[in-house]
Structure 1
Amino acid sequence: MQLVELDLSRNDIPEIPESISFCKALQVADFSGNPLTRLPESFPELQNLTCLSVNDISLQALPENIGNLYNLASLELRENLLTYLPESLAQLQRLEELDLGNNELYHLPETIGALFNLKDLWLDGNQLAEIPQEVGNLKNLLCLDVSENKLECLPEEINGLTSLTDLLVSQNLLQVLPDGIGKLRKLSILKVDQNKLIQLTDSIGDCESLTELVLTENQLQILPKSIGKLKKLNNLNADRNKLTSLPKEIGGCCSLNVFSVRDNRLSRIPSEISQATELHVLDVAGNRLTYLPLSLTTLKLKALWLSDNQSQPLLTFQTDTDPETGEKILTCVLLPQMPSEPDCQADNLPRCGALESLVNEMSDETWNERAVNRVSAIRFLEDEKDEEDNEMRTLLRRATPHPGELKNMKKTVENLRNDMNAAKGLDSNKNEVNNAIDRVTTSV
């Protein structure tokens, strides 16, 4: 009866006896990972309980009088079979942490807004189609996770979550974010990836504390100019959208360290990006860039990704002049960017195309992988009579991971590609290039 903490997690206990109500001093209880389907009706009599964990126990319902646990500060109900929450849950006025992730909730009661001291609320992995507007009453909430649901919108009242630092709404059906999100001045992490966003509200620029913004896999065509007001933004990921341009105001993100816009429809990068002086990683692979702005040379980039099969984080760039605008630009062997799946109809210079493809595929990782998986077979003439015996008696030899002669050939082909690109359009060098290609092709 003087027991303060009880941990029975990860056992095979099928039932908790009603007599547990005699443990009046109990403060911490963990029954997670047992084959339980219910909690005893007498459970809410444990009024000194502050922390209750019943994760992954196939729980189908909470006791209707669970609100009697008025000292409860942490309630973990993750990975159960809950389909609804009792109204009495609103009586848990001291609750600071509520984890309802990975259940079968279709509806969140309006009374959730009565949990004024709540700091962390996890609702991920449910079937929620909406969030009640009363959630805006949770003035002390720090983290809200509603990812992996069926939300088509967020209530405008979300602007009442003035203490919120983390908002996770990944894998839903959102097309827009409410303008009120700009009132969340303490918001640090916003993840809206894998939704259906067609635009990003201008008020995003008012989230002055934002350090991480993840917009991956949406349908955005532009980013708002106000994004340049995010002075503390460190990581911006907008991969796999439909972006056709970037606002020049992006340079205002003076703390930006990682910027990724892979697999979009960008044809140019604004030169103002060089104003983001802390930028170290820029990923623009899978776009339609013909060149890069010369201003990139002022940045201390550690990685600039232009292609999926790029073998090194940085390449050697050459300066050139844009024939249309006359401005100085940067170019390299991977520019202009080519489609990820080359057009088979383009059959001019077929051998050059094949050679280019060979070189592009030869990153260090794929080279090692191919070499390891390559098998040499030695077969014996006297065993050819019986195919099965032939297979059984075949001597297999794994290839050496890095054959020296093949590595040298790779370097030769890479050097040739550089020379070939430099010689494009110069008829005087055409024969020399073709002869070189013949030599390397023969070597291959």
Structure 2
Amino acid sequence: IARFVSYAKELVSIGCDSLAIKDMAGLLTPFAAYELVKALKAEINVSLSLHTHSTAGFAFGAHLKAVEAGVDVLDLANSALSEGTSHPCTQSMVATLKDTQWDSKLDIVPMEEAADILRKNRRKYKKFESQYNQIDTRVLVSQIPGGMISNMANQLKEQNAFDRIDEVMREIPNVRADFGYVPLVTPSSQIVGTQAVLNVLMGERYKTITTETRNVIRGLYGRTPAPLNQALVEKVLNEGEEMLSVRPADLLKPELQKAKEESKAFAKSPQDVLSYAIFGSIAETFLQERNSNTLSPEPLESFEERCDDKLPKEFEIVVNGEHYAIKVEGSGEKTDEVRPFFIRVDGELKEVFVESIDKSLEGKIQKEQKAGALPQVTAPGHAKSPMPGTLTKIKVKVGDKVNQGDTLAIVEAMKMENEVLSPIDGVVKEIYAAQGMQIGSDVAIMLLG
């Protein structure tokens, strides 16, 4: 606590006008919260907020004890989205403090109206929710935030390697130590988690290094609490390159005007320009579809609500003697041609498309599927992504000479940019994929020879 108080005083002395206690893994116990807040409020005179999660099960108590100790702000979540790896419930805290000296004077009725809207919309995203979003006291041992575990679980499922999650959990402390013990909070938690996944799946530590890992090592995320692993530093830095010794933000160049120019064909508002500046090709695709009125709204109804109750939701199929457990999680918007269904095959979430039986449409569907297909990785010169994601940038063109290890493209997955590296020295012969495509890790993006 004394170190936290000393750090808080340092921050206030350089001009911070508010401070936050950020407990992303939900490890702050109620009585520790009381002692910490009490000690901080005795030494600083700025607004103090508490941000913790319910992962370990005692966040509500931590909030309540923090209130008793004099905290100014609590981060809470509406009941439709609260508890577990989220925050404690707003309505519950408002009701708890009613008619006390800490009465918030907030009205629960409009909160309940909001909860009804949020519950309905949350159903749209049920298929994306992680099994790790409830209370999980294993965090008391692993100290890994719930959001980080959720991301890792999704990454491993996409790679059909969920059974290796325990290996990844053991690798995370090693990666974090190599990274100078960066805090496990977004985005550094995703950087550490993604690199740990790659280290395990590749069978060799740092065989594949993400762009953001390189940026941490180069100093673009600022000074780390502890020294970096020197062997990793030497592997990441190019010959003659040195780590940053200045404030990284001072190196940024204005980009808004460039984003305005590049997006003027499809951006209709300042918000559109900002969306493009942040999300690039993903925003461009969305905005173009919006402008052409071809966006299809995702259904609010669950699969059970959209289909006959007699239709089985879980069953087993046999293909070439292999048994597969199938569970239908939901269905997408139906069109005249095809309807997407979200199913779990032996626990792995996949999207499948059920075609119309209208024979006149078969040729069109097959043509569209063929146009969007990418070849499987078979040749030594096939370049592939280290993991499934969105192909956001292609950095080479046909005819370019490249060396083994050069960056050919960028794939965005789980908030991270991942480099597609050249597998050989050679020349770019063919580029199969296009920017904005969703790609897997088992298909070729381009061919080098």
Shorter-chain TM band: under 0.3
| Higher normalized helix content (fraction of residues) | 2
Could you say which structure has the higher strand fraction?
Answer: 2
Q: Which has the higher contact order (CA 8 A, sep 6+)?
A: 2
The alignment's TM-score, normalised by the length of structure 2, stands at 0.24
Higher Cα Rg, which structure:
1
The TM-score, its normalising length taken from structure 1, stands at 0.25
